[in-house]
């Protein structure tokens, strides 16, 4: 029993509502997951006062926080990621959904890194994020790039279009 526990790995797949994160989960199940591992689907729920819209600009300073919005977003995430959990269980994976309540949209990558450290993850898997020219001018560093640069755990970025 001790030997089995020593070989258990925590695998983290950072997920959002994109097709790329679903593909990252599938790839992880097919290529990394082995019996005894624990698969963590990690999703950051931003604070209600920092929900972005209008092309990603943070409207926290102009919109009043709506009570219950973060809880509503968390409930939606649980419902949405049930399909991810179902896929993992079809592969026989021990899978957990980890929702992290973030401070704001700009700290998503820091929230991911913090949770990955907390879990002592063997690896974190992310889907590559593409930015258009306009986004690259006006937006901060993509979450994936920031995680790669700042996470102390092995980080795997999947490009599904290569």
Task: Provide the CATH number for the domain around residue 60.
Answer: 3.40.50.620
Within a domain: 32: yes
Within a domain: 31: yes
Q: What is the pLDDT of residues 10-57, one digit of tens each?
A: 999 999 988 999 999 999 999 999 999 999 999 998 776 554 443 333
pTM of this prediction exceeds 0.75: yes
Q: What contacts 43, CB < 8 A, 6 or more positions away?
A: 14, 15, 16, 77, 81, 97, 98, 99, 100
Per-residue pLDDT at 5 exceeds 60: no
What angle separates helix 143-150 from helix 108-118, to the nearest 10 degrees? Answer: 40
The rounded distance, in Å, linking the Cα atoms of 160 and 146 is 19
Q: Is 94 exposed, middle or buried (0-12, 13-18, 19+ CB in 10 A)?
A: middle
Domain that holds residue 22: 8-158
Q: Which two tokens stand for residue 46?
A: 């931003």
Are the C-beta atoms of residues 120 and 10 closer than 8 Å to each other? Answer: yes
Q: What is the pLDDT of residues 103-146, one digit of tens each?
A: 665 688 999 999 999 999 999 999 987 655 555 555 556 788 88
**Three-class SS of residue 119?**
coil
The H or E element containing residue 31 is helix 19-31
Count structural domains, the chain.
Answer: 1
Q: Which two tokens stand for residue 44?
A: 């950051």
For residue 125, count other CB atoms closer than 10 A to its CB: 24
Within a domain: 3: no
DSSP state of 102: -
Within a domain: 38: yes
Among 5, 9, 72, 19, smallest CA distance to 40 is for: 9
């Amino acid at each position: 029993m001790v030997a089995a526990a020593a070989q258990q790995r925590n695998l983290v797949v950072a997920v959002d509502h994109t097709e790329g994160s679903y593909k990252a989960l599938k790839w992880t199940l097919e290529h990394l997951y082995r019996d005894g591992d624990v698969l963590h689907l990690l999703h950051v729920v931003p604070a209600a006062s920092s929900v972005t819209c209008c092309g990603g600009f943070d409207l926290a300073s102009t919109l009043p926080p709506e009570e219950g919005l973060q809880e509503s977003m968390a409930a939606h995430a649980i419902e949405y990621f049930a399909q991810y959990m179902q896929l993992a269980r079809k592969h026989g994976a021990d899978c957990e959904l980890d929702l992290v309540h973030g401070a704001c949209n700009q700290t998503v990558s820091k929230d991911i890194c913090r949770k990955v450290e907390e879990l002592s993850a063997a690896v974190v898997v992310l889907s590559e994020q593409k930015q258009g020219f306009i986004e690259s001018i006006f937006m901060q560093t993509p979450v994936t790039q920031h995680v790669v640069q700042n996470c102390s755990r092995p980080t795997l970025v999947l490009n599904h279009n290569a």
